[in-house]
């Protein structure tokens, strides 16, 4: 069918708008701060082959690769005739889309004039699914999925509009916060119903043939736009490697990440087969997210995402790889490695795209603030959850962003201090940028955060491992690495904070924690940074006077003004020292 350009553009924008409205509906009606504040969710429309029609703008990026496989699995399970109007399916099982069990998917079939055409889907982070699922940070302590929580495998919670009372009671009786989680489930269902109404309006206005033809053309055009970007890169094979500190069980043994990218014409292949084999620790996943997020960021970061965004990409991840782990490999800490995989893919293309590729970012799925317990005043369980951002790498044209969540998280944001303190018995004493956490460079990296929290009642803390201290966020083209993050705890009566990791750490009231996030690497030679910008950074408290002198060769007078002659002399001396060292270094 030949479409007129006006109709095509209307449909092209209407489909993401429907997903965006689903997201607004979910956020407005949900019970859980991880949804209405942090925005840890995505909303989407998919066709019967599991091809992504649209996803909400700003939706969690690493969810983009693991929705279609659920539709494919559901179609195998029920068959095309096994779905009826009014059905609602709930699933979080790791055998198909391996994530932590908190990421619960609700989806419903969409029928137009009695014909099944697509699915409306919402994945959102539930506050609890039983087991050790409350909050984050259980990590390596979870031996298998049964420890983690309740596993739901493509079950119909509603069948032809009728609630499955038995399944509902099973879910309700096996989670700590049934009011919150089941309220979120109803919000997910409401978003799917909204999508069905909007699709009815669209099909009624343009007709089935026009809508389906438009979707096919949108896929084709999106694919071509991505191919146009790749075609501008030199053909060849590009490789890079990185690691995370350990898997949480075997200490002092780095977990390798090896990337090989082949470019030929407009085709790109991302091969992750060199990454670690699956682990006994719970940092495994089953996802193409690492490759897809990187590819999308490189080819069309600002365009709405659909299946055409990935048609020209081939991803190689063998079964048994840490990124394609086999059930029942534990996956509660699945997100620990994915941002670093994305970073490594981007780093591999630095030579092919020197004008676009940034230095490494903090590479953690947020510094997580997780404290939970029983409020003695209300006699109700509570859990504090927030995802705190860190520094991104310096870029070829400007400094990296500070206090920003990872490349895998879309528009996820931290919980508001007011909301946290209003709902939970804690005091957020400060949330501020970490001085000198950024890598130095012509364009410096962004800064990480120090978030200081005092718990006003006894309870338990979860502290995620930063896992980037041995291979901190790297610099590019002469830039230095950013500082890694970590967590600190001080109990009442103790004089100093101590670094700590682990989950379910019991503390008494008035204990204090610091959740510390890493900074981004620097881009380019620090001695080429405009001296006035260094002075400004010192004045703003972003870097210290000592760092200005040591890393940038910039000398400030006592009144914070730039000593230009002394700076020029110091920079010349530092360059000379650098050249002398390079001559002595073995070839």
| DSSP for 304-363, written as a single string | PP-GGGGTTEEEE--TTBTTBPPTTS--TTGGGTHHHHHHHHHHHTTTT-TTT-------
Helix (H) or strand (E) holding 580: helix 564-584
Tokens of 483: 């500082």
pLDDT digits 0-9 by tens, 37-56: 889 999 999 999 999 999 99
313 beta partners: 268
293: how many CB neighbours lie within 10 A of its CB?
28
User: Between 271 and 302, whose confidence is greater?
Assistant: 271
370 contacts 136 by C-beta, under 8 angstroms: yes
Going from the C-alpha of 259 to that of each of 132, 240, 242, the distances in angstroms are 33, 5, 9
Distance of CA 299 to the CA centre of its chain: 18
Tokens of 440: 């130095």
Q: Are strands 313-316 and 267-271 parallel, antiparallel or unpaired?
A: parallel
pLDDT digits 0-9 by tens, 234-249: 999 999 999 999 998 8
Residue-level pLDDT at 244: 93
Q: Are strands 380-388 and 41-47 parallel, antiparallel or unpaired?
A: unpaired
| Maximum alpha-carbon separation in the chain | 80
**What residue segments make up the domains of the chain, in order of their start?**
5-222, 358-523, 528-584
End-to-end CA distance of the chain: 63
Residue-level pLDDT at 520: 97
Q: Is the pLDDT of residue 427 over 70?
A: yes
Distance of CA 70 to the CA centre of its chain: 20
Residue-level pLDDT at 585: 64
5: how many CB neighbours lie within 10 A of its CB?
8
Q: Is the pLDDT of residue 135 over 70?
A: no
Q: Is the pLDDT of residue 138 over 70?
A: no
Nearest to 349 by CA among 441, 262, 287, 288: 262
Q: What mean pLDDT do residues 279-301 have?
A: 94
pLDDT digits 0-9 by tens, 467-484: 888 999 999 999 999 999
Q: Compute the C-alpha angle 455/459/464, nearest 5°.
A: 85
In the numeric block, the tokens 């009372």 are attached to: 165
pLDDT digits 0-9 by tens, 368-404: 899 999 999 999 999 898 889 999 999 999 999 999 9
Nearest to 88 by CA among 117, 108, 65, 59: 108
Q: What mean pLDDT do residues 94-100 have?
A: 92
Residue-level pLDDT at 62: 82
As a whole-number percent, the residues of the chain with pLDDT over 90 amount to 84
Residue-level pLDDT at 414: 87
Residue-level pLDDT at 586: 63
331 contacts 286 by C-beta, under 8 angstroms: yes
73 contacts 50 by C-beta, under 8 angstroms: no
Average pLDDT, rounded, for the chain: 94
Q: Label residue 582 by pLDDT band (50, 70, 90).
A: confident
Residue-level pLDDT at 140: 60
Beta-carbon contacts of residue 546 (< 8 Å; ≥ 6 apart): none
Q: Is the pLDDT of residue 60 over 90?
A: no
Winning range, highest mean pLDDT, from 6-20, 249-263, 572-586? 6-20
């Amino acid at each position: 069918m030949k479409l007129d350009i006006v109709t095509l553009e209307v449909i092209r924008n209407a489909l993401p708008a429907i997903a965006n409205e689903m997201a607004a509906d979910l956020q407005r009606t949900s019970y859980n701060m991880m949804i209405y504040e942090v925005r840890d969710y995505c909303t989407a429309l998919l066709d019967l082959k599991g091809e992504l029609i649209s996803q909400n703008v700003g939706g969690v990026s690493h969810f983009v690769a693991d929705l279609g496989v659920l539709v494919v699995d559901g179609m195998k399970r029920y068959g095309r005739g096994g779905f009826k109007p009014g059905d609602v399916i709930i699933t979080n099982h790791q055998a198909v889309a391996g994530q932590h069990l908190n990421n619960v998917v609700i989806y419903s079939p969409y029928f137009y004039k009695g014909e099944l055409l697509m699915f409306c889907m919402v994945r959102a982070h539930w506050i609890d699914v039983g087991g050790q699922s409350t909050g984050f940070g259980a990590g390596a302590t979870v031996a298998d999925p049964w420890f983690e929580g309740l596993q739901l495998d493509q079950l119909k919670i509603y069948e032809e509009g009728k609630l499955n009372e038995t399944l509902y009671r099973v879910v309700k009786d096996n989670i700590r916060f049934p009011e919150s989680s089941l309220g979120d489930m109803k919000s997910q269902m409401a978003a799917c119903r909204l999508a069905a109404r909007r699709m009815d309006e669209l099909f009624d206005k343009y007709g089935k043939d026009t809508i389906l033809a438009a979707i096919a053309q949108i896929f084709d055009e999106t694919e071509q736009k991505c191919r146009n970007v790749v075609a501008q890169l030199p053909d060849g094979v590009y490789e890079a490697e990185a690691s995370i500190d350990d898997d949480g069980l075997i200490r002092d043994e780095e977990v390798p990440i090896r990337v090989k990218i082949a470019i030929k014409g407009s085709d790109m292949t991302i091969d992750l087969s060199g990454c670690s084999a699956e682990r006994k620790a719970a940092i495994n996943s089953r996802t193409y997210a690492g490759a897809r997020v990187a590819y999308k960021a490189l080819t069309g970061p600002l365009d709405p995402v659909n299946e055409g965004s990935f048609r020209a990409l081939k991803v190689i991840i063998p079964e048994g790889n840490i990124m394609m782990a086999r059930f029942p490999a534990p996956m509660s800490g699945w997100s620990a490695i994915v941002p670093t995989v994305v970073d490594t893919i981007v780093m591999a293309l630095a030579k092919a795209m020197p004008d676009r590729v940034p230095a490494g970012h903090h590479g953690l799925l947020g510094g997580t603030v997780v404290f939970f317990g029983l409020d003695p005043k209300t006699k109700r369980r509570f859990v504090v959850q927030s995802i705190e951002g860190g520094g991104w790498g310096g870029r070829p044209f400007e400094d990296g962003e500070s206090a920003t969540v990872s490349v895998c998280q879309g528009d996820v944001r931290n919980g508001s201090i007011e909301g946290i303190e209003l709902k939970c018995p804690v005091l957020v004493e400060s949330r501020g940028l970490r001085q000198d956490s950024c890598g130095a460079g012509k364009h410096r990296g962004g800064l990480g955060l120090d978030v200081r929290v005092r718990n006003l009642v006894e309870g338990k803390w979860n502290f995620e491992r930063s896992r980037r201290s041995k291979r901190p966020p790297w610099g590019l083209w002469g830039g230095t690495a950013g500082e890694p993050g970590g967590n600190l705890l001080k109990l009442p009566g103790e004089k100093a904070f101590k670094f700590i990791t682990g989950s379910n750490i019991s503390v008494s009231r008035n204990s204090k924690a610091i959740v510390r996030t890493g900074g981004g690497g620097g881009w380019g030679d620090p001695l080429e940074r405009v001296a006035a910008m260094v002075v400004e950074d010192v004045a703003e408290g972003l870097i210290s006077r000592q760092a200005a002198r040591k890393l940038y060769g910039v000398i400030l007078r006592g009144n914070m003004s730039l000593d230009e002659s002394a700076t020029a002399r110091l920079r010349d001396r530092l360059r000379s020292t650098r050249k002398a060292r390079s001559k002595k270094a073995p070839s």
